[in-house]
């Protein structure tokens, strides 16, 4: 893989998809439908998916592609693949809360090694560079020219005063019970894959997820966090979260700065 090309393509496609998403987001009204699993989908999900899928297939025709909005790709069995959630946080999008992201990642042998997370309503973009390190690009964004970038890295947390981030739309008692095991200084809620990015920048230390997610929900954020020195592990055994699983469903997991003293439930 040409990682310089991959970074440039993922960055550009995320911006193009973000522009289309924001056109729909800023419109007076948009249709919301339910998919077969009862999760919501909008024209923005589908438009962003069309842009990203076409761009990735043109640029990397020999690399397998898995995308949330194309069920025919969910039977893919390759060990190396691109994986896309064109609009993560659809519920946040529908409620016009801004916490939604465009997510593109590249997985090799079960590990997401490159990725981009773009939050168009927040004006924040995070991605891995060709060398695997993560940066935040500071807007305004130009599709053809990379703007000012800032290297980011996870925090050196105080385990007696942790900064915890949790899901805004999928919070439950099990998650709260697990968070209560820690000494928490501050707790914030965020939608979509932005939670991984908040750990990557040091704005949070710990993100436990005791609920259903799919690999396209997490791969890009996972890659971004890895490139900033963070980790994502299974909740049950603290082993690295792997990708390319049958059906692309994730187990419960914990994303964190490595200096957090992880606890068991």
Question: Binding site for substrate, residues?
Answer: 68, 87-90, 217
Residues sharing a CB contact under 8 Å with residue 67, sequence separation 6 or more, in sequence order = 49, 52, 53, 73, 83, 84, 85, 86, 216
Annotated binding site: 68, 85, 87-90, 217
Q: Rg (Cα) of the chain, in Å, rounded? A: 17
The Cα-based distances of 121 to 26, 93, 144 in angstroms read 10, 9, 20
The Cα-based distances of 80 to 23, 203, 232 in angstroms read 33, 31, 19
Annotated binding site for Mg(2+): 68, 85, 87-88, 217
Is residue 258 within 8 A of residue 155, CB to CB? The reply is no
Q: Is 128 helix (H, G, I), strand (E, B) or coil?
A: strand
Is residue 157 within 8 A of residue 186, CB to CB? The reply is no
């Amino acid at each position: 893989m040409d990682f310089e090309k991959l970074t440039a393509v993922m960055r550009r496609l995320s911006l193009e998809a973000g522009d289309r998403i924001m056109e729909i987001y800023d419109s007076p009204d948009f249709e919301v439908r339910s998919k077969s699993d009862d999760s919501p989908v909008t024209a923005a999900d589908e438009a962003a998916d069309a842009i990203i899928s076409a761009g990735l297939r043109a640029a990397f025709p020999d690399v397998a592609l898995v995308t949330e909005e194309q069920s025919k790709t969910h039977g893919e069995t390759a060990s190396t693949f691109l994986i896309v959630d064109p609009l993560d946080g659809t519920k946040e999008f529908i409620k016009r809360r801004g916490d939604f992201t465009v997510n593109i990642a590249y997985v090799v042998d079960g590990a997401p090694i490159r990725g981009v997370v773009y939050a168009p309503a927040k004006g924040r973009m995070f991605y891995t560079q060709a060398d695997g390190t993560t940066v935040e690009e500071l807007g305004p964004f130009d599709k053809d020219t990379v703007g000012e970038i800032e290297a980011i890295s996870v925090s050196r947390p105080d385990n007696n005063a942790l900064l915890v981030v949790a899901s805004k739309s999928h919070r439950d008692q099990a998650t709260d019970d697990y968070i209560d095991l820690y000494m928490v200084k501050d707790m914030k809620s965020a939608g979509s894959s932005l939670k991984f990015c908040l750990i990557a920048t040091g704005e949070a230390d710990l993100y436990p997820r005791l609920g259903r997610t799919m690999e396209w929900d997490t791969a890009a954020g996972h890659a971004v966090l890895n490139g900033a020195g963070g980790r994502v592990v299974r909740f049950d055994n603290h082993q690295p979260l792997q990708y390319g699983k049958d059906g692309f469903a994730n187990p419960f997991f914990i994303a964190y700065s490595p200096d957090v003293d992880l606890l068991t439930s």
